[in-house]
Amino acid sequence: MMITQCKDWQAWLDKMPPKPDELNVVGDVMVGNPGVRPMLTMRNPQGSNPVALILDLFLIQQPGIWPDVRVCAPARFDRVMPPSAPDYTSVEIYSDGKQIAQIDVSIVE
């Protein structure tokens, strides 16, 4: 499935006490029917820039019969940060090998 429209991407690193820190990435993806669920996963391996997180967006069709209606579906990625992890400053999101979004990470302290 081709990603045609994505919007409202946001990323933030929650550093509020108590530890551990948590990274959150959210956005809206236009999908072909209400049974499609967007899924964000960490790319492995990551790129050469240690403070830029790279995510891949996949669209997962749920079983069943769904109306052929385009809808906006939420995508979300959450990660509890290990103590040795870098503080990400940006997130790059790819679909089918093409970059569809680049987001600056806000720090919440």
What is the C-alpha end-to-end distance of the chain, expressed in Å? Answer: 38
SS3 content of the chain, % helix, strand, coil (to 5): 0, 60, 40
Mean pLDDT value of segment 29-53: 94
Rounded CA separation 16/22 (Å): 9
Q: Is the pLDDT of residue 3 over 70?
A: no
User: What is the SS3 assignment for 3?
Assistant: coil
Name the pTM for this structure: 0.89
Angstrom distances, CA of residue 40 to CA of 12, 27, 55, 95, 106: 15, 10, 6, 10, 19
Q: How far apart are CA 109 and CA 100, in angstroms?
A: 28
Q: Using an 8 Å Cβ cutoff, are 43 and 55 in contact?
A: yes
Q: What pLDDT band is residue 1 in, cutting at 50, 70 and 90?
A: very low
